[in-house]
Structure 1
Amino acid sequence: MKTFEVYKNIRKKAVIFGLPISLFAIMMVAILASLLIIIFSFSFGTVIGVFICNAILYIVLTRITNNPQLFQIATPFPKIISNKQNSGLHYEED
């Protein structure tokens, strides 16, 4: 009888082939586009080039998954944390 391993990291993100769902969707769209290119191309070089492009895309997406700080533009926390209501009026700037 086949035994299955219990998935204990249920609170973490869902991962398919080492990629989160959104990046996996990007990878699948690229694969579908490359299949269309392969079907309608007539050269062996194009087929090899498409396979290389898909491999490079997969490597780049896994690197982005492992190091998400690469594309972080904004700071994760504000400079000031306060519970005070902001009225939008700045009295000090008169």
Structure 2
Amino acid sequence: MKKYEVYRNIRKRAMIFGLPISLFALMMVSVICSLLIIIFSFNLSVIVGLLLFNALLFGALSQWVNRPGTFHIQNVFPQGISNKRISHLSHE
């Protein structure tokens, strides 16, 4: 008989289809836009192209989740905020 482990760390990193919530939302926006394009321009090549695009986007986002160091985003804010003068030059 299979044993299932309880997933208790849902707040740490919630995942839908293997993607974090923000990337899943990006994927759903892409799917909805693709559906709108298919509805208004019904063509077989457009349908195949959009299906291929969505599959490639999902694959790229999945790879990005598995290897987050590929596109390292630098932290914008400093670790600590101080009123200490950085420069010894007087600007008065």
What is the TM-score normalised by the length of structure 2? 0.74
Offset from partner CA, 1:52-90 (integer Å, 9 cap, x none): 000000000001111111111538xx8xx99x8632234
Q: Sequence identity of aligned pairs in percent?
A: 49
Instruction: Indicate the SS of the match to 1:68.
Output: coil
Q: Taking structure 1 as reference, are residues 63 and 89 closer, same or farther at Cα in structure 2, changes over 3 Å only?
A: same
Moved over 6 A (4+): none
Distance 1:73 1:27 in 2: 20
The one-letter amino acid paired with 1:86 is K
Structure 2: runs of 5 or more not aligned = none
Q: Which residue number in structure 2 is paired with residue 54 of structure 1?
A: 54
Structure 1: runs of 5 or more not aligned = none
- Spell out the pairing of 1:79-90 with structure 2 (5 A cutoff): 86-90=84-88
* Deviation (angstroms), 1:8: 2.3
RMSD of Structure 2 on Structure 1 (CA): 2.6
- How many residues are paired up? 83
Q: Taking structure 1 as reference, are residues 90 and 69 closer, same or farther at Cα in structure 2, changes over 3 Å only?
A: farther
Does residue 39 in structure 1 map to residue 39 in structure 2? yes
What is the TM-score normalised by the length of structure 1? 0.73
Q: Taking structure 1 as reference, are residues 73 and 25 closer, same or farther at Cα in structure 2, changes over 3 Å only?
A: closer
The one-letter amino acid paired with 1:43 is N
* Deviation (angstroms), 1:5: 5.8
